Amino acid sequence: MRVCVVGAGYAGLVGAAGLAAAGHAVTCVDADPDRVALIAAGTPPFHEPGLADLLRQQVSRRALRAGTDLAGAVRDAEVTLIAVGTPSLEDGRVDLGQVEAAATRIGAALRDSTEPYPVVVLTSTAPPGTTRTLLTPLLEAASARRDGADLGVATSPEFLAEGSAVAEALHPDRVVLGAAHPRTLDLLAELYRPLLTPPAETLRTDPDTAELTKYAANALLATLVSFSNEIADLAEAAGVDVVEVLRGVRLDRRLSPVVDGVRLEPGVLAYLAAGCGFGGSCLPKDLRALLAGTALPLPVLRGALATNRTRAARLLDQLRAGLGGELAGARVTVLGAAFKPGTDDVRESPALPVIEGLLAAGARVTLHDPVALDAARRALDDAPVHYRADLAEALAGADAAVLVTAWSAYRDLPALLPRTTLLVDGRRLIEPAAVARYRGPGAGAASSPRRNPAPS
């Protein structure tokens, strides 16, 4: 099929490359000409494992093109996907400005399309009701077409996760399709069919259900993280190690089923782990949007967000305690800027409030990240931070290191960390006994000399 993807960001570009690999003719349109030039040359504009190879292949066989001409690309397409940003407003609700602007321009372009039934799909994350009450009327007005007659309007929320997005785009575990008309759903099922191999499933439903499904999925993951972090607080208070506690919880067959004598560890268990909280461009934003859009009390979900907001401060408390109560003048190396490993995305990364807190307390901050230093520099503006790409250099002379992103390179810390340097392990990546001075969320360390020997 001929496909246009409007918005070539983390979600749109990876999705577009996946559809190109599936045999479709895809044109990516983005408002940023620099981004378009990179994509057209087969170069990813951001870090995502596997994307460079996939992009090079699809661009060189001309299955994937990139441009800035939205009207031309939409006019030639059978299906147009909207993958523009849906950032938070001040009050937590979603800013749908990019969706509105894109929809208006897409609708206008469809006036000149000869397609009898072009389909426009919202893949950006947007609150329930957006497709029905905003997108459909906008498209109908701008295109002079009618949904279900000579236009198909749908939503298919994007579920891919940064760091593993390429594999997920090529082999999605589910496709959720929401549309008011069966003809639209049939066309979209055809679009995704080459990517869906059993046991992957397609959920055909109405747009509101599809939109809420995306929010529900992210709310579950966010809640698991905050649940784990509250258990970490309890573990600390009890002087025990949350890693052991949660390992015991995970050994329940309902969480890690035993099949043919082998215990399976479903991926969701990665969220049943203590750390310094969730960040990124989706979980915090989507949970805020869900809560800002309702008057329902929803104490579990509101609590998940509130608990998450306290994590950076707790990490700083552990650091302060480990350094004898004073951060002013301390040389602190922050390990990791990306909100999770495998990406250079620093949006709402826990590293940002940790760094801001350190600077406010008068610490001297060095930041290391294998891929996200440029993005961190932009996010931190002109903050007085020393940026280091070399790990050993970043650690040299540090009084303390705070591990924020679980990059696999940090597993080597026990060999690299000077004995006198305190490690505050915000991801519980390192065995406490493997370093001389260790603290971390739920490490039970302060009160358990067995696990966290006093600084030598």
What is the set of active-site residues?
282
C-beta of 70: minimal distance to ligand NAD in Å? 6
CB nearer ligand NAD, residue 13 or residue 232: 13
Note whether 130 binds ligand NAD by CB under 6 A. Answer: no
Binding mask 260-299 for ligand NAD (x = CB under 6 A): ---------------------xx-----------------
Stretch of residues binding ligand NAD (CB under 6 A), selected from 26-34, 137-145, 196-204, 311-319: 26-34
Shortest approach of ligand NAD to residue 208 CB, angstroms? 17
Q: How far is the CB of 431 from ligand NAD (least distance, A)?
A: 31
Does residue 70 bind ligand NAD (CB under 6 A)? yes
Residue 11 touching ligand NAD (CB under 6 A): yes
* 76 counts as binding ligand NAD under rule CB under 6 A: no
Please, which residue, 37 or 101, has the CB nearer to ligand NAD? 101
Per-residue three-class SS string for the chain: CEEEEECCCHHHHHHHHHHHHCCCEEEEECCCHHHHHHHHCCCCCCCCCCHHHHHHHHHHCCCEEEECCHHHHHHHCCEEEECCCCCECCCCCECCHHHHHHHHHHHHHHCCCCCCCCEEEECCCCCCCHHHHHHHHHHHHHHCCCECCCEEEEECCCCCCCCCHHHHHHCCCEEEEEECCHHHHHHHHHHHHHHCCCCCEEEEECHHHHHHHHHHHHHHHHHHHHHHHHHHHHHHHHCCCHHHHHHHHHCCCCCCCEECCEECCCHHHHHCCCCCCCCCCCHHHHHHHHHHCCCCCCHHHHHHHHHHHCHHHHHHHHHHHHCCCCCCCCEEEEECCCCCCCCCCCCCCCHHHHHHHHHHCCCEEEEECCCCHHHHHHHHCCCCEEEECCHHHHHCCCCEEEECCCCHHHHHHHHHCCCCCEEEECCCCCCHHHCCEEECCCCCCCCCCCCCCCCC
Does position 30 interact with ligand NAD (CB under 6 A)? The reply is yes
215 binds ligand NAD (CB under 6 A): no
* Residue 80 sits in the site that holds ligand NAD (CB under 6 A): no
Q: Which is nearer to ligand NAD, 11 or 404 (CB)?
A: 11
Least distance in Å: CB of 426 to ligand NAD? 21
Binding mask 401-430 vs ligand NAD (x if CB under 6 A, - otherwise)? Answer: ------------------------------
Q: Does 374 bind ligand NAD (CB under 6 A)?
A: no
Residue 51 makes contact with ligand NAD by CB under 6 A: no
Residue number, 74 or 385, with CB nearest to ligand NAD: 74
Q: Which of 3, 5, 7, 232 binds ligand NAD (CB under 6 A)?
A: 7
Q: Is 292 exposed, middle or buried (0-12, 13-18, 19+ CB in 10 A)?
A: middle
Candidates 102, 222, 406, 423; binder of ligand NAD (CB under 6 A) is: 102
What is the Cα–Cα distance from 40 to 38, expressed in whole angstroms?
A: 5
Residue 125 sits in the site that holds ligand NAD (CB under 6 A): yes
Q: Which residue number is nearest to ligand NAD in terms of Cβ? A: 9
Least distance CB 7 / ligand NAD (angstroms):
3
Binding site for ligand NAD (CB under 6 A): 6-12, 29-32, 35, 70, 83-86, 98, 101-102, 124-125, 158, 160, 162, 281-282
